[in-house]
């Protein structure tokens, strides 16, 4: 089993869909910078490797005890997005003066 059954495209779609709850809650999306792409892919691969193939005991449901690395990655990506937006707001307010 593989998280991305298609070579290209569904990863972007999955990230877009994953951001919908954030956007609907008036939060910023989690943006993955291209420089963090390797860490992102490695984090997903580590989770998938630790999870192994689907088993009746787990099915397709997440295993929270294995998600700490991915959760940390998402927190870092969100903080970077927040910093970028804050920087843009600061620059915009300087221009308005």
Q: Which of 6-15, 47-56, 57-66, 70-79 has the lowest mean pLDDT?
A: 6-15
pLDDT band at 74 (very low <50, low <70, confident <90, very high): very high
Is residue 13 marked as binding?
Answer: yes
Distance between CA atoms of 68 and 45, rounded to whole angstroms? 13
pLDDT digits (tens, 9 = 90+) for 28-63: 999 999 899 899 989 988 988 888 777 777 666 677
> Catalytic residue at 4?
yes
Is residue 39 marked as binding?
Answer: no
If phi over 0 gives left and psi between -120 and 50 gives alpha, with beta otherwise, what is residue 59?
Answer: left
Q: Where are the domains of the chain?
A: 10-96
pTM of the model: 0.74
């Amino acid at each position: 089993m593989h998280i991305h059954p298609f070579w290209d495209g569904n990863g972007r779609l999955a990230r877009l869909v994953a951001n919908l709850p954030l956007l609907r809650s008036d939060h910023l999306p989690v943006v993955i910078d291209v420089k963090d792409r390797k860490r992102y892919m490695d984090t997903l691969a580590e989770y998938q490797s630790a999870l192994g193939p689907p088993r009746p005991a787990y099915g397709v449901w997440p295993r929270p005890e294995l998600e700490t690395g991915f959760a940390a990655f998402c927190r870092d990506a969100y903080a970077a997005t927040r910093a970028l937006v804050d920087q843009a707001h600061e620059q915009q307010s300087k221009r308005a003066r």
